[in-house]
Amino acid sequence: MSQPRTDLAPGRFPADFTWGTATAAYQIEGAVREDGRGVSIWDRFSHTPGKTHNGDTGDVACDHYHRWQGDIELMRRLHVNAYRFSIAWPRILPEGWGRVNPPGLDFYDRLVDGLLAAGITPWVTLYHWDLPQALEDRGGWPNPDTSKAFAEYADVVTRRLGDRVKHWITLNEPWVVAFLGYFTGEHAPGRKEPESYLPVVHNLLLAHGLAVPVIRENSRDSQVGITLNLTHAYPAGDSAEDEAAAKRLDGFMNRWFLDPLFTGGYPRDMIDVFGSWVPSFDESDLGVIGAPLDFLGVNYYSPSFVQHSEGNPPLHVEQVRVDGEYTDMGWLVYPQGLYDLLTRLHRDYSPAAIVITENGAAYPDEPPVEGRVHDPKRVEYYASHLDAAQRAIRDGVPLRGYFAWSLMDNFEWAFGYSKRFGLYYVDYETLERTIKDSGLWYSRVVAEGQLVP
């Protein structure tokens, strides 16, 4: 059990803390038809009229595929000791399974070697939403064969990179993949099938569980985890109804994932809430899904304040907009939510380690003037959330690392290029990167290992 770190002065982080930035393949790479890459569901979705802001696509994005060496220099300027990126499944297996595309593996081989040469530890996310379209054409995540295809993909990648990559994240945000991709249709593949939501969640978790032993076999002595988008659910009022609503939202967003991963099964109360939506599955799946992990990756942006609703079945919950600061995504700035989430995870699930795999904020940054991009609100966001993280460490949470989202402005999914999260500003005409004040500030925090003014 992790012990309180009262030895740490306020604002100071452990000397061995992992400091990084994070990105994802489809959001930064571009080069979508280069070197044998296959089509992904986000290629198909973003090229479908009306699906993304302004019809934006990831065809070029930040052109990281050709600029990766310069981007490593951007990381060096931040003094980070780690970099979290995802591998594009369609670059490795263009049809999703079977035929391997060597130039795809070669690209990530070069990137990993370049990071290691720069003293930056690669943290690899195997799945950050860019499913090969060929697998979607065979049913996508509702088809349990896709879980097996993911394990095959994990095998190919970890056989090639597992000698040098020792930190693996199987999936990024399965809740988003399932709910936005197959329930609301806001994300690729854009399917609006509420009955598919829970089967997709199950198949994603099964894919994760099937991949864990494969990764461990091919990448000996590596750290393996999963990244979940987690929130902290607060009742908007002090009624028993609102308390119960907060518990249901917590069950929907958090416990439906955390329980099978860490406690051996889906939460009983939510099985009753979801009723007939709960898919039938082999009980043996739960043993696969519950494969022991070395860390839990947490993407935290904002909490949820909720109240009971007579509508919105079966959850009967509605979000409440409370007073406060909001980011350009319309997300409440509430660092206490990060502290409360971290301490809850430690108390209720006791993961061996927790890593904040994403935290950051979108604001409407102005283009550089005399080489500067002033983004004081983003600096404040990072400062307040890192303070919350440090308080959690002092109180005994085994928080081992923090990845700022994101290294640079990039393709923000259905929002296209309209939302800027980067520590570097990207001019999408020239693709020039310019460090923002938040990047300069973060580089000082990382260099000193403590919060700075």
- Residues in touch with ligand 8P2 (CB under 6 A): 24, 27, 172-173, 299, 329, 358, 405, 412, 421
Closer to ligand 8P2 by CB, 29 or 358: give it: 358
Closest CB to ligand 8P2: residue number: 24
Smallest separation (angstroms) from ligand 8P2 to the CB of 203: 19
| Residues labelled catalytic | 173, 358
CB of 206 to ligand 8P2, least distance (A): 21
Q: Phi and psi dihedrals of 221, rounded to 5?
A: 60, 25
- Judge whether 126 and 35 are in contact, CB under 8 Å: no
Shortest distance in whole angstroms from residue 413 CB to ligand 8P2: 6
Q: Rounded to 5 degrees, what are φ and ψ at 299?
A: -100, 115
Least Å from the CB of residue 244 to ligand 8P2: 28
Name the nearest CA neighbour of 187 among 175, 176, 203, 196: 176
Q: Which is nearer to ligand 8P2, 245 or 253 (CB)?
A: 253
Q: Which residue lies nearer to ligand 8P2 by CB, 156 or 298? A: 298
CA distance 224 to 2: 19
H or E segment at 378? helix 376-394
Which amino acid, 295? F
CB atoms within 10 A of CB 254: 24
Q: In terms of Cα–Cα distance, which of 332, 328, 327 is closest to 233?
A: 332
Q: Residues near 320 by Cβ (< 8 Å), separated by ≥ 6?
A: 236, 305, 306, 307
- Minimum Å gap between C-beta 299 and ligand 8P2 is 5
250 vs 409, beta carbon nearer ligand 8P2: 409
Tell which residue, 12, 21, 119, has the closest CA to residue 358. 21
Cβ 172 to ligand 8P2 shortest distance, Å: 5
In DSSP notation, 197-247 reads HHHHHHHHHHHHHHHHHHHHHHSTT-EEEEEEE---EEESSSSHHHHHHHH
Nearer to ligand 8P2, 182 or 405 (CB): 405
- Contact (Cβ atoms closer than 8 angstroms) between residue 419 and residue 361: no
Identify any residues that bridge with 378 across adjacent strands, giving them in sequence order: none
